[in-house]
């Protein structure tokens, strides 16, 4: 079975440009999470969706960040305009909420560099 | 809010030795889950082991086991017969599904180096 798929794996852009990160969760999973990993702050939850509905976006750092989940098999995280401090690895994870195991499966991450 | 603390930024042991990574957490909840994730240089997050707070028995997965002390809010990971492939960052994570919050809270991580 395919795991969580993220694209692109690497993104280099210039300050001020729009960046869109993409995620395809594991088929059948109903919860999707976006995390950001930096050296300074470690792994932080940005936002999560349950059944395609955003439930908690309190981790989204600024209005420049937005996330959507138009259907059960696709989500995007957009940064507009991007800034150098947004440079990080962005992970998408999915899980089957309500199951006792409560395990989150992570994608390979997108390494974003904003120059 | 929950917090997770990993007090060992880096550890180094010889191959075949046993190593223990420490993790403490703070929560007022009673039912929750704890996880250890491994992140090798490829940066893929790999689930190593999980523990349900309502279970008294410590979880084990082959060479990996935990020492879960609920009253002390401690959740350490023991790796037996360490192998070169165990070299990675290890993250302790807390999960509580309640109050609308379903995300994982991570510690800062421990960089484990297995020396040949």
Q: How many residues make up chain B in this entry?
A: 116
Query: Measured between alpha carbons, how far is B10 from A104 in angstroms, rounded to an integer?
Result: 25
Residues with Cβ within 8 Å of residue B42, at least 6 apart in sequence? A108
What is the average pLDDT across A75-87?
97
| Residue A12 DSSP one-character state | E
Measured distance CA(B24)–CA(B31) in Å, rounded? 16
pLDDT given at position B29: 87
CA distance A93 to chain B (A): 10
pLDDT at B49 over 90: yes
Q: Residue A62: which H helix or E strand, with range?
A: none
Cross-chain Cβ contact A59/B103 below 8 Å: yes
Check residue B85 and report its DSSP letter: G
pLDDT attached to residue B21:
98
Say what the pLDDT of residue A98 is: 67
Summarize the confidence of residues A91-102 as an average pLDDT: 79
3-class state of residue B86 by DSSP: helix
Average pLDDT of span A5-34: 96
Per-residue pLDDT for A30 more than 70? Answer: yes
- CA B39 to each of CA A37, A55, B18: distance values in angstroms, whole numbers, following the listed order: 12, 27, 19
State yes or no: pLDDT of B100 exceeds 60.
no
Share above pLDDT 90 across residues of chain B, in percent, rounded to a whole number: 82
pLDDT tens for B72-82 read 999 999 999 99
The residue of chain B nearest to residue A42, with distances taken between CA atoms, is B108
Residues of B with CB under 8 A from a CB of A: 33, 35, 37, 42-47, 50, 52, 91, 95, 97, 100-109
Of B33, B47, B104, the CB nearest to A45: B104
Measured in angstroms, the CA of A108 and the nearest CA of chain B are apart by 5
Q: A99 or B82: which carries more pLDDT confidence?
A: B82
* Of residues B95, B93, B66, the one with CA closest to residue B79: B66
Distance CA B57, CA A61 (A): 39
Q: Residue A43 is nearest to which of B33, B47, B91, comparing CB atoms? A: B91
Question: Residue A105: its pLDDT value, please?
Answer: 93
pLDDT at A91: 98
Retrieve residue A89's tokens.
């690895």
What is the per-residue pLDDT for A111?
97
B80: which 2 tokens?
């037996």
Whole-number average pLDDT of chain B? 93
Is residue A73 pLDDT above 80, yes or no?
A: yes
Element (H, E) at B48: strand B46-52
Alpha-carbon distance of A76 to A24, in angstroms, equals: 9
Chain B contact set for A44 (CB, 8 A): 106
Give strand ranges (E) for A59-102: 65-71, 74-79, 88-95
For the cut 60, the answer to whether the pLDDT of residue B54 exceeds it is yes
The SS3 of residue A65 is: strand
pLDDT band at A101 (very low <50, low <70, confident <90, very high): low
Smallest Cβ–Cβ distance between A48 and the set B35, B102, B106 belongs to: B102
Share of chain B above pLDDT 70, in %: 97
């Amino acid at each position: 079975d395919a795991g969580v798929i993220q694209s692109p794996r690497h993104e280099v852009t210039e300050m001020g440009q729009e960046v869109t990160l993409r995620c395809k969760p594991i088929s059948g999973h109903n919860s999707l999470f976006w995390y950001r990993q930096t050296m300074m702050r470690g792994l932080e939850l940005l936002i999560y969706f349950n059944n395609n509905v955003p439930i908690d976006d309190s981790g989204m750092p600024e209005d420049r960040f937005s996330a959507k989940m138009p259907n059960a098999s696709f989500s995007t995280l957009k940064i507009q305009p991007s800034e150098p401090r947004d440079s990080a690895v962005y992970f998408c994870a999915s899980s089957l909420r309500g199951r006792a195991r409560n395990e989150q499966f992570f994608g390979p991450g997108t390494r974003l560099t904003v120059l | 809010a929950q917090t997770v603390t990993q007090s060992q930024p880096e550890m180094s042991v010889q191959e075949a030795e046993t190593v223990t990574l420490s993790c403490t957490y703070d929560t007022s909840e009673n039912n929750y889950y704890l996880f250890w994730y491994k992140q090798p240089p490829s940066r893929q997050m790999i689930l190593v082991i999980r523990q349900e707070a309502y279970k008294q028995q410590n979880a084990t997965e082959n060479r990996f086991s935990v020492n879960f002390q609920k009253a002390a809010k401690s959740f350490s990971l023991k790796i037996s017969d360490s192998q070169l492939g165990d070299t990675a960052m290890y993250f302790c994570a807390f999960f509580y599904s309640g109050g609308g919050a379903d995300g994982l809270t991570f510690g800062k991580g421990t960089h484990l180096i297995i020396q040949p």
